[in-house]
Structure 1
């Protein structure tokens, strides 16, 4: 009988043998020069969790290191970046050592994540707590989807830089390759643009915050200022930290809607409503006016963020843009007449085209929420579908590549169960079983045009890292398998059967996950501001 090894995500091919390898018997981590940064990350991780200090030595095909080593090597023709082939790897653990081979450094990064899960769970702690022992195994692996991401909303409630770095590490351990940062919205502006100081002086904080659910009107407001932002140096640190782990950061600057924080700082860019940063949650009428000044501001912000993050994608948002202000705006009417627009939705399309054209000059590609389809979007823009999976077909028919993120399955700010003690969520019900059964690219869909899949952690009702962890885990782990592992492999060894072991890893890492049997007493909503609030939620229809 094959030995059972519990990994999440499950590799595509895994063959276990009897016995273990004690890594302390190895002399070094032998790495190709290009892999030195990853080799040192692995050495540091082993040192923290097991106390084993393996030196890193250079090894090449012409001058290989002999003896029992943990070898990281590149072999074969190098594939293009951001392809499944770039993340493929082979991991062999034998009595004579460990060989981790890939054609691209990203594949080595994914293999290191798998190797860390082969260690005892306590090896994931921050101080030595486990022996450096791994089972003998051969793994051949490659992701199913190119983009496997998690979105962290740092706007509705600011999440500090150290927590962002932790989430990058957790994405890495689960073989995700994208962390999407939602950086701007009505409730705050969260990054520094040196030429626009009012964005952080005024737009980065709000005077009060809604208590309880936004629909629970009697609950009132907490009159405590809330805010925060990332300096340019903070952003560069986040970018570097992710780059070392071959994680792509996708920054989102959400325009032309969700603009209350922008307009609090620079009211002249809107219709002059002169309202403060929004203290509650929902969709608001204030949008950028389609003026050259507003467009110049947006392009300035996109330039600032694109200069920091070197990944190929910039997220422009574009969701939930009300047309009310533009319908009564003489400026919008003049634009529509000049451009021959038949529908006011063309105003958003005007912004979208300008964003795409500008970012293309910087070598960037735009991605936006599925509302950018309304009124038309350039064919090169990728579309992130969030409303329902039916919008996937609409985006594909319009010629776009699609990132699949339906709120019905991967919005982890929805309730985890029907338990009345669950803490406050926006609405919906997304139990872990629903995530496990989901297929982001079902039969009949052209999988070659599916960029990938992503789960979301909107933070209206996740005020601090502890709350984000409870909402994310273990659902994020199950999502990671859905995005990485082929359906036949998932069905042969269901992920829910492997969660027990994986929860030990989450516990060792200090993650405040939701237990499978329900929330601990200190995780429950109680009867105060975090109490459960339900209302009838109807899924949107495709227009």
Structure 2
């Protein structure tokens, strides 16, 4: 029996030996509704192998068949991504109940090809092993977050990250679109967001805590509505959901640089450094009108049923000296300043619900304070809101107890802006250390938590210290591949086929894709931090305490 190395590892796989030459097949036969996926597969095969298979509804001789079988399940469910892949003397069959399952089968098929078949020009034969695979994901939501605010990345790089997510059977791209350091999309009724908030005059050199000054170079950019629609459509063709995040009411420096009247009026510029800042939106009708304008655009451009409203790291310092806030608290019976955030969150949720969107927020939306009767405001988030937990896994239990579905993203395990190793040669990161072994050993469903309430898991690529696409790649890979295995494969499969034993062979695929990944033994000479602005800066990472 042949042993195959795939990432993620399928739930059930048998490979009796022998090969199937895809070039010998008549073409691709696609059931109705699968034509687009069939042509995508045809294009991918032609690109890397030179084998162009035509698409038809049927062929008289052995073919590569894409079939829908059984009642179609709902989107974003385990059943919607289950598939069966068989390659034998009769040809190749990809079978699923939902087109998303066919898309995942295509990703697996591409890994069965020689690694060089992933290149952008014909470089390998279109040969796969004889195999039978029955597969389904463990988790419904398997995401990667791309921060294109702190350091803006071109649209082309976002599209390439979608390709890489697809190859690893991830199904969500979370775009972090707004923060203190910039605003990254058009809102026609708010032109200053692109004229003012989308760029900063300079960026801190090295780590923000190092005190090495600023580079004096403007940085910025934004995506047009047409750009974002292209990104959404490109992902949808691969059955990947693009989820937008607009962060309210904190992380608002860029917003307030453009519209200072929405805050306390300091009129400070877009931030050129990183951290948590006191600037927040005031809880006023003007601020809520701004949020509604933004959400209307987001709902129109993104077809995702989810919108992320942020809600993390909201200081109350400015609110504590605000007469507007005091008046609101008295009028609404809010007994703590943290409850002001709950009030703001409730208003955002109400508007997005009216637009047919389900809200996601960072776990701080649980910290809503209480009303005058002692009832928890729960951050203003109704039970149908999804809580994305980032501080620690204790908040998973808290969110589930409050009736929420949860996306599990704890910083110590899936924040890939942490250092990859403890060597002095590692390039600049924010802090901490998240090794491949640590990711591989992580269970995204904490003990004692109802797994049905865990919507899924997500890894995060915060970009404060990843200024270029190559820096993002180094931070992401191969840890993203390991994360994908953790999120897809069941515990029994992971124990029987440890991902760390499959990873070295997978690096050949990353090489073929041209990804600037971190080698397992450490950075290559040109990837090292050196002694300049990319030099390692270490300060102690303290995990958030359980509450």
Match of 2:319 among 326, 343, 353: 326
1:449 paired with 2:453, answer: yes
d(CA) in 1 for partners of 2:95, 2:3: 23
- Say whether the 8 Å CA contact 2:425–2:523 is kept in structure 1: yes
1:216 aligns with 2:215: no
Equivalent-residue separation in structure 2 for 1:34 and 1:416 (angstroms): 43
State how many pairs are aligned: 536
1:288 aligns with 281
Superposition pairs for residues 343-382 of structure 1, below 5 Å?
A: 343-375=336-368, 376=378, 377-382=381-386
The 2-side partners of 1:321 and 1:225 are apart by 27
| Residue in structure 2 matching 1:157, options 141, 146, 151 | 151
Structure 1 CA distance, aligned partners of 2:352 and 2:66? 36
8 Å contact from structure 2 (residues 85, 132) kept in 1: yes
Structure 2: state its 5+ residue gaps.
Answer: 369-377
- Show the counterpart of 1:342: 335
SS at match of 2:507: helix
1:183 pairs with one of 172, 177, 200: 177
Matched, 1:487 2:491: yes
1:455-506 deviations in whole A, cap 9, x for unaligned? Answer: 0000000001000000000000000000000001100010010111100000
1:164-243 matches, within 5 Å, as: 164-217=158-211, 219-243=212-236
Q: Which residue of 1 aligns with 2:264?
A: 271
User: In the alignment, does 2:428 pair up with 1:424?
Assistant: yes
Whole-angstrom CA distance in 2 between matches of 1:77 and 1:335 = 52
Q: Distance in 2 between matches of 1:537 and 1:9?
A: 30
- Please say if residues 79 and 136 of structure 2, whose CA atoms lie closer than 8 Å, have aligned partners that are also in contact: yes
How many angstroms apart in 2 are the aligned matches of 1:302 and 1:194? 12
Q: Which residue of 2 aligns with 1:16?
A: 15
- Describe the SS at the equivalent of 2:347: helix
> C-alpha distance in 1, partners of 2:405/2:495?
27
Partner of 2:26: 27
TM-score by structure 1 length? Answer: 0.98
Aligned to 2:375: none
Task: Note the alpha carbon deviations across 1:264-288, whole angstroms, 9 max, x for none.
Answer: 0011111101000001000000000
Matched, 1:101 2:105: no
What is the root-mean-square deviation in Å for CA atoms of aligned residues?
0.7
Q: 1:517: which partner in 2?
A: 521
| Alignment partners' CA distance in 2, 1:83 and 1:521 | 44
Distance 2:37 2:518 in 1: 31
How far apart, in 1, do the equivalents of 2:504 and 2:272 lie? 40
From 89, 105, 109, the counterpart of 1:115 = 109
**Counterparts of 1:461 and 1:524, CA distance in 2:** 14
Structure 1: distance between partners of 2:296 and 2:492? 43
SS in 2 for 1:317: coil
Please list the CA deviations of residues 191-227 of structure 1 after superposition, one character each: whole Å capped at 9, or x if unmatched. Answer: 111111100000000001000111111x110000000
Separation in 2 of the partners of 1:536 and 1:436? 23
- Is residue 473 of structure 1 aligned with residue 473 of structure 2? no
| Runs of at least 4 residues off by over 4 Å | none
Aligned partners of 1:374 and 1:253: how far apart in 2?
Answer: 19
C-alpha distance in 2 between matches for 1:33 and 1:52: 23
Q: TM-score of the superposition, structure 2-length normalised?
A: 0.97
| 1:58 matched residue in structure 2 | 57
* 1:509-537 residue CA offsets vs partner (Å, 9 max, x unmatched): 00000000000000000000010001122
8 A Cα contact 2:83 2:101, kept in partner: yes
Specify the SS of the correspondent of 1:209.
coil
Determine the structure 2 residue equivalent to 1:394.
398
**Residue of structure 2 in register with 1:415 after alignment:** 419
Gap regions ≥5 residues in structure 1: 60-64
What residue in structure 2 maps to residue 534 of structure 1? Answer: 538
After TM superposition, give the deviation of residue 346 of structure 1 in Å. 1.1
Whole-angstrom CA distance in 1 between matches of 2:75 and 2:139: 13
Question: Hey, what's the Cα distance between the residues in 2 that align with 1:338 and 1:68?
Answer: 73
Aligned-residue offset at 1:299: 1.3
State which of 121, 131, 141 in structure 2 corresponds to 1:127: 121
Partner Cα separation in structure 1 for residue 152 and residue 22 of structure 2: 41
Deviation of the 1:17 alpha carbon: 1.3
Is the CA contact (8 Å cut-off) linking 2:485 and 2:499 kept in structure 1? yes
Contact 2:393 2:446 in 1 (8 A): no
Shift of the alpha carbon at 1:442?
3.3
1:458 to 458, 462, 472: 462
Map of 1:312 onto structure 2: 305
The answer to whether residue 72 in structure 2 is matched with residue 78 in structure 1 is yes
- Render the CA deviation track for 1:63-119: whole Å, top value 9, x for unaligned: xx3321000010001101110100000000011200000000000000000000000
Counterpart of 2:372? none
Deviations 1:41-77 (A, max 9, x none): 1000000000001001124xxxxx3321000010001
3-state SS, counterpart of residue 17 of structure 1: coil
**Alpha-carbon deviations, 1:215-253, whole Å to 9, x = none?**
111x11000000000000000000100110000001000
| Partner-residue secondary structure (3-state), 1:40 | helix
Q: Check conservation: 2:390, 2:409, Cα contact below 8 A.
A: yes
1:146 equivalent in alignment to 2:160: no
